[in-house]
Structure 1
Amino acid sequence: MTNQIEIGRGKRGRRAFSLDDVSVVPARRTRDPKDVSLTWRIDAYTFEMPVIGAPMDSVMSPETAIALGRLGGLGVLNLEGLWTRHEDPRPLLEEIAALEAGPDGTEATRRLQEAYAAPIRAELITERLAQIREAGVVVAGSLTPQNTQEFYKTVLAAGVDLFVIRGTTVSAEHVSSSHEPLDLKQFIYELDVPVIVGGAAGYTPALHLMRTGAAGVLVGFGGGSSTTTRRAMGIRVPMATAIADIAEARRDYMDESGGRYVHVIADGGVSTSGEIVKALAMGADAVVLGAALARATDAPGGGWHWGLEAAHPELPRGHRTHVGQVAPLEEVLWGPGHHADGTSNLMGGLKRAMATSGYTELKDFQKVEVLVTPTQTV
């Protein structure tokens, strides 16, 4: 069976679905939300919720990474961000938040490019990761593939527990005529820590990333609230289809590898409790939250949200986006919620959805029945 449709006489394409296009079906047997477990395990680490804080400067500082870790999630620090380029980036963060919202965001883009033009400093990577480690939570840092080779030894020496290689898209077979690309399979094989790598948006590239030995694959390409990849590059894969495709790659890789399980982690386009529910229902093991956590009153962005791609020196592909401030981080994640739009008590919403559908474990919830529904705004 295929869902390819004819675009024109010379081109056909698969029909793809966003998270807005699908919904979860309640079951005949319901559960008590208090009986639902949100425990997520990856490699040797166990978390109380399937939540990763996006390695973006508007979301994760050393302090918010620590706070998220204490609340039961995994905070990932962007090791190419302002915290590893500037001794004290807080005045810069305040300045960026205070910039006026122009019609096209040009002023903010230029200021971001200037702020991120400062070189990455290895000693600051060490200092920031040590700060997180001293707090007693799981330590995780993120680099892009372009900078992994240069800084990974510094990251490992600082005592990172989980290493994230994150880019707009990451492949296991990058080809370049100008420099020697990162050999992911060899690189991951030689490391002593689990690696999460991505983004990937399709079955084949994800399967190749799984074969490198990665512990987890990030699913997504240009789907976040602050990115303009779709407009700048014409590339986008709707998240519901991307997650389902890569979940199938995980199943096939398990057969191929004799049972090795690779975690599928939705990264982008997941901003409310309902979207978290649907991402997990499509087969994700966990979600990366950016805008959802940038709305916290204690997030470093001050109600604004942006990613590293927004400061690209040649082709910026993102905006500084106003997301507002909802509540402190703990209330955003665990409640009690005071907002009816799925922006606070995210885990409470997930627990109730699982209970309503008859599930108490995250792995089982991946089997829940879903429907394709017309996109609508409520």
Structure 2
Amino acid sequence: MNEISIGMAKTGRRAWALDDINIVPNRRTRSPQDVSLDWRIDAYTFSMPVIGAPMDSVMSPQTAIALGRLGGLGVLNLEGLWTRYENPEPVLEEIAHLENREISPSNTRRLQQLYSEPIKAELITQRLEEVRESGVVVSGSLTPQHTQEFYQTVVDAGVDMFVIRGTTVSAEHVSEHIDPLNLKEFIYELDVPVIVGGAAGYTPALHLMRTGAAAVLAGFGGGSATTTHRALGIRVPMATAIADIAAARRDYLDESGGRYVHVIADGGLGTSGDIVKTLAMGADAVMLGAALARAEEAPGAGWHWGLEAVHPNFPRGHRTQVGTVAPLEEVLIGPGHHTDGTSNLMGGLRHAMASCGYVDLKSFQRVDTTVSPL
């Protein structure tokens, strides 16, 4: 099914991007006021299915707190500037005033220099404590490469939820040169729920679910700030990636005797329409980067970049100008003043669900869809 001949020796599977998908209202409409956007993972309940991406252009301790107070979950990048510098504001200001070009070797070189400052365990503790003191759910993110080095610091600081996020993450990394992170053993030893990814297919997602993860990130993250497709040739269109991983969730639910693993769409979600379509494909929640980088409070001051952009040997991301739209509250819950889906993101989701006759997120995953390739 969906196999297409590329040539005599190779076939490929047809895959779909979010832009190819349309939502079809086939039920009685409902009032937007009747729609609930509540989302629960493990012991934590949120009033919106939104996670702030652990990127320096998106989340600082203060924006993580602000997002938490609005009803979402902010995740700090524990390998970012906030854990490398006691006072990262001047560094962020410098990045915001680099050459006004997206593709710039001199900008990339300077970013690499700024991120060469070592990560400091005491700053990880300090930043997480800042968030904890506010009373919101505390979450931090490490890449698989640094998880074993710093996870104990993260747990000792009192994190509520731990995120392991990379371009692509497997349940067990194989290497002849380093001691790899065994996710199943690692998650088993932790006392906090773990969100892990990215994954973009049924099999790797199923393997991640079997490690005991509370949620799997669907996609490669980064969105407009990465060039993984150009640099590595790796790309899975988001609609297909989410639907495949939702199928893994369904099968794992049967395999495990009822254990539900959440699917979180991560990457390339710039508008409220994108968010609507990810949930229609089977996602339980979304991890937002560029969409929140447009908020007035965002540390990137209208610029957006990820850890991929500062890799010391093989950078594959841009520092992208996304602009500034509105305060964070307006970006998420309105009232909106933009007609392009960049403000009142949850209002857009609420209206879409009501127009299609659904009043909760789980049932909305059954909404009718069509495919119309651009």
Q: Which residue does 1:37 correspond to in 2?
A: 36
| Partner Cα distance (1:311, 1:374) in 2 | 34
Q: Percent identity?
A: 77
Unpaired runs of 5+ residues, structure 1, are none
**How do 1:329-344 residues align onto structure 2 when only pairs under 5 Å count?**
329-344=328-343
TM-score of the aligned structures, taking structure 2 as reference length: 0.99
Q: Which residue does 1:238 correspond to in 2?
A: 237
| Partner Cα distance (1:235, 1:374) in 2 | 20
SS at match of 1:29: coil
Q: Deviations over 1:87-130 (max 9, x none)?
A: 11101101101112236221221111011100000000000000
SS at match of 1:287: strand
Unpaired runs of 5+ residues, structure 2, are none
Q: Which residue does 2:128 correspond to in 1?
A: 129
Q: Which residue does 1:70 correspond to in 2?
A: 69
Q: Deviations over 1:237-285 (max 9, x none)?
A: 0000000000000000000000000000000011100000000000000
Partners of 1:222 and 1:228 within 8 A in 2: no
SS at match of 1:225: helix
Provide the aligned length of Structure 1 versus Structure 2: 374
SS at match of 1:151: helix
| Partner Cα distance (1:154, 1:309) in 2 | 24
Partners of 2:132 and 2:138 within 8 A in 1: yes
Q: Which amino acid aligns with 2:253?
A: M
Q: Which amino acid aligns with 2:360?
A: E
Q: Which residue does 2:198 correspond to in 1?
A: 199
Cα root mean square deviation, aligned: 0.8
| Partner Cα distance (1:307, 1:286) in 2 | 20
| Partner Cα distance (2:329, 2:309) in 1 | 28
In the alignment, structure 1 residue 277 sits paired with structure 2 residue 276: yes
Deviates more, 1:176-185 or 1:213-222: 213-222
Runs of 4+ in structure 1 off by over 6 angstroms are none
| Partner Cα distance (1:70, 1:240) in 2 | 30
| Partner Cα distance (1:40, 1:173) in 2 | 29
Q: Which residue does 1:51 correspond to in 2?
A: 50
Partners of 1:247 and 1:284 within 8 A in 2: yes
Q: Deviations over 1:196-226 (max 9, x none)?
A: 0000000000000000000000011266111
| Partner Cα distance (1:371, 1:88) in 2 | 49
| Partner Cα distance (1:371, 1:269) in 2 | 20
In the alignment, structure 1 residue 153 sits paired with structure 2 residue 134: no
| Partner Cα distance (1:105, 1:25) in 2 | 42
**How do 1:233-312 residues align onto structure 2 when only pairs under 5 Å count?**
233-312=232-311
Q: Which amino acid aligns with 1:254?
A: L
Q: Which residue does 1:350 correspond to in 2?
A: 349
Partners of 1:62 and 1:128 within 8 A in 2: yes
Q: Deviations over 1:48-83 (max 9, x none)?
A: 000000000000000000000000000000000000
| Partner Cα distance (2:99, 2:358) in 1 | 46
**How do 1:94-109 residues align onto structure 2 when only pairs under 5 Å count?**
94-102=93-101, 104-109=103-108
| Partner Cα distance (1:260, 1:240) in 2 | 24
Partners of 1:310 and 1:318 within 8 A in 2: yes
Partners of 2:83 and 2:121 within 8 A in 1: yes
Q: Which residue does 1:79 correspond to in 2?
A: 78
Q: Which amino acid aligns with 2:280?
A: A
Partners of 1:222 and 1:230 within 8 A in 2: no
Task: Report the Cα offset of residue 139 of structure 1.
Answer: 0.1
